[in-house]
Structure 1
Amino acid sequence: MAWLTAHLKTLFASKKPKNPPKRKPPTREEKGKFRALDNDDENAVSSPNFKFQSSPKRSASNCSSNTNSSDLTDSDLLPILHYEELHMVPQILTQFPAFYLVGHPLPPPPLPQARQVLTASDSVKQGLIHPRKSSVRGYNHAKASGREWWDYTPDNGGTLLTLEDESFRHLTREYFEKSIELLQQICGQFNQTLTENGDKRIVIPQEVMEDIGFSTMRYLRYSPTILERPNIPRNEPPVASSSSSSHSASSSRSQPKEDGYSLPRMEAHTDHGILTLMTATEPSGLYVWDRNGKIFSAPPIENTVLVIAGDLMSHFTAIEGKSIVDDGKEAIGDGTILPTVHAVVLPKGGTERYSVAVFLRPKRDLVVSKQRAKREDGEIIERDMTFGRWAEEKGQIRGRRCWMVGQERLSGGQDI
């Protein structure tokens, strides 16, 4: 386990990649177009170049933001990319920790369904707990963090560990399947560059584009009432699955602050998979970090979804011939995508927050990297690092925040 902890620390200790790409400043035209978003200009979202969002038109439930365009600078903003510009994703994710996608073909986000299942009676939730206490299938909660979640189970057509409601099932399944298709499309953009022989360079394994693997969708609720209510009875606490996305039991053992003050939150972490698609209600509370340790606020913006990178993107986009596991920061090049460090902390006095997250993950046995090992006779050999093994060993590291930069400002539920 020590080797994994050491290499993760090394990876995130790298403040800058070698020869980092220069971020191009937005043109006057681009600035005008993002300002037009405040004026309900439907044409503002179809720019041929990504935009920098300022004072965005947020979801209808936004009543608490006092931010205006004069409070933000271009460097404080995450880009908004149109669906027709997916070819820009590989470049965007080397410069930014996340991006918004607009003009996408997804149906309305199932936020009402998230509220429906997560405000159901305790007896209903008890019936949605996985028989083997999986933390990535069915219902789970982390009372000490003020959050609870329900994971869609794609097996058997989504009929397991779910509500007896046909509309709920249909809308949930539809959004999951459409979101996975979209994330697979995004992955395909990384395989468009050519080798010296004129062949396409395979960065993301083809299996990712052809199979849903161990992908899932999570409905999340953050609420002060969860901090206060009794635990739902269960025979034993949930255990982290080998493909958990960092919402495992170990992250829920939060210690209260000395003054007794606490907030619904999720500690800074990275997701185990390839890409994660998110949408949420206000209040936001979501923050992301770039590779230099800079923190960006990522509020919900109407008609967009937020896309971030998971751990496997660093494996897939490492310098050719290098391994993130063995070489750490030496495997990071201009085109290497680092996993997005992110956290959720509800602002003091905020109302409850609902979110939907779709995780694109491969099958557990997919080889994502190679690891060098020494045999008893001293010979150095390579062995496969599968997704399942990576997720399992990472999940067993206590205090996953240890290798992440800049997270101190948002850990432990401080007032922001």
Structure 2
Amino acid sequence: MAWLTAHLKTLFASKRPKNPPKRKPPTREEKGKFRATDDDDNTTTTTTTSPSYNNQSSPKRSNSNRSSNTNSSDLTDSDLLPILHYEELHLVPQILTEFPAFYLVGHPLPPPPLSQAKQILTSTDSVKQSLIHPRKSTVRGYNHAKPSGREWWDYSPENGGTMLTLDDEEFRHSTREYFEKSIQLLQKICGEFNNNTFTESGDKRVVVPEEVMSDIGFSTMRYLRYSPTILERPNAPKMEPPVASSSSSSHSGSSSKSQQKEDGYSLPRMEAHTDHGILTLMTATEPSGLYVWDRNGKIFSAPPIENTVMVIAGDLMTHFTAMEGKNVINDGKEAIAEGTVLPTVHAVVLPKGGAERYSVAVFLRPRRDMVVSKHRVTKEDGEVVEENMTFGKWAEEKGRVRGRRCWMIGQERLSGGQDI
């Protein structure tokens, strides 16, 4: 983590006395709240209170007037991402335009089914083979990617979650309960975009289609396992943790072709990518290995924090939050405004010698036939017409991008930095 430590020192270097007075260290929630309500403007301090933060004042939109119990030198890599309480979901639309992800505490979800993830992903090979989708779907049932050291199983909500699953009542109950309550939570977050986004005339703007809040669509839940034992090639090249791009506007450019080796050891990893749905809810075991990028190319470490879940944005949030009257596919960056949520670029790289990592990810997706945007098509006679872009078509076209490159804006194909 030397690269991350050096990066953080440059971000938060400050002159301090040799023997500074000792202060009571702020809690993670206080520091996360500080990050959530702080930005680069030297504007008037606004005080907010919340039961989850022990009614302590937190400065909003101010760098010059920091909380007496929190300052930049107290922040660590995990504190760079904001931590919000469930009662403050109305802040999410603003937070996701400023940060690539946030932690949520005080949520109504049951304990994460990480033991269930381990149960199904350490089953015998014969059991895993029986859970493979008959048409080889990669988003239903069991799949693996041995060269990257990971395997996963996707819950199938159809037929009450009884397909392609273990014959274990407790497993099925815990899995179904967590999936359904997570989807309800993500739908509630989508509702906050509609409640807190306004048109130029001051009317509420329907950002996320209402059907997303009333239908689970093609949503799913994924159990993931990252482990060196899954790796197919014992002498695969070692991949380094991600390095921030020197560009402040994107992660564009070719990915690194030089792959370093160390003792012939390969790290379980997943290359930088974005999810093509609406929102994703995550939780995981240690070691973390999860990294997220913001819209300026800054990298954040995103370790699991007890009693929280992490929420990130998918590609469709960019379509939904684009400027009124503009289209991301047709207009590209011209459709992006300050209030536009860009999809979260994220990657997983396990540290060398670390334990296996299990994670749970819940993906909120619309129905495959739901129209998410329009795109211009030029016919053979030169006529330009607009055709519907459905979610299914969007996912299919993105799937053709080799290596799951990030599509951050329209048709741009970006790698998110290195191939990892």
Q: TM-score, normalised by structure 2?
A: 0.75
Equivalent position of 1:163 in the other structure = 166
In structure 2, distance between residues paired with 1:48 and 1:190: 27
Give the one of 383, 387, 404 matched to 1:379.
383
CA deviations over 1:125-184 (Å, ceiling 9, x no partner): 111111111010000011111000000000110000000100000000000000000000
Give the one of 312, 317, 321 matched to 1:313.
317
In structure 1, distance between residues paired with 2:128 and 2:297: 38
The amino acid across from 1:100 in the alignment is: Y
In structure 2, distance between residues paired with 1:270 and 1:35: 27
In structure 2, distance between residues paired with 1:81 and 1:116: 31
- 1:257 CA drift (Å): 5.7
Report the identity percentage: 75
CA deviations over 1:223-272 (Å, ceiling 9, x no partner): 01111599xxxxxxxxxxxxxxxxxxxxxxx9986664310001100001
Equivalent position of 2:298 in the other structure = 294
Equivalent position of 1:15 in the other structure = none
- 1:404 CA drift (Å): 3.3
Equivalent position of 1:90 in the other structure = 93
Report whether the alignment pairs 1:407 with 2:411: no
Q: Tell me, yes or no, if the aligned pair for 1:314 and 1:336 is still in contact at 8 Å.
A: yes
Report whether the alignment pairs 1:99 with 2:109: no
SS at match of 2:405: helix
Equivalent position of 2:280 in the other structure = 276
Segment drifting more, 342-351 vs 392-401? 392-401
Question: What is the correspondence of 1:102-251 to structure 2 with a 5 Å cutoff?
Answer: 102-192=105-195, 193-195=197-199, 199-228=203-232
Q: Tell me, yes or no, if the aligned pair for 1:33 and 1:51 is still in contact at 8 Å.
A: no
Segment drifting more, 198-207 vs 328-337? 198-207
The amino acid across from 1:189 in the alignment is: E
| Matched pairs, number | 340
In structure 2, distance between residues paired with 1:164 and 1:108: 21
CA deviations over 1:74-120 (Å, ceiling 9, x no partner): 99600001000000000000000000000000000000000000001
More helix by share: 1
In structure 2, runs of 5+ residues without a counterpart are 1-22, 33-49, 61-71, 235-256, 407-412
In structure 1, runs of 5+ residues without a counterpart are 1-28, 53-68, 231-253
Over alpha carbons, which structure has the higher Rg?
Answer: 2
Structure number with greater CO (CA < 8 Å, separation at least 6) is 1
Q: Tell me, yes or no, if the aligned pair for 1:315 and 1:323 is still in contact at 8 Å.
A: yes
Equivalent position of 2:349 in the other structure = 345
- 1:382 CA drift (Å): 1.1
Equivalent position of 2:335 in the other structure = 331
SS at match of 1:394: helix
Equivalent position of 2:3 in the other structure = none
Q: Tell me, yes or no, if the aligned pair for 2:289 and 2:303 is still in contact at 8 Å.
A: yes
Q: TM-score, normalised by structure 1?
A: 0.75
In structure 2, distance between residues paired with 1:355 and 1:146: 14
- 1:399 CA drift (Å): 3.1
Q: Tell me, yes or no, if the aligned pair for 2:130 and 2:164 is still in contact at 8 Å.
A: yes
Q: Tell me, yes or no, if the aligned pair for 1:147 and 1:221 is still in contact at 8 Å.
A: yes
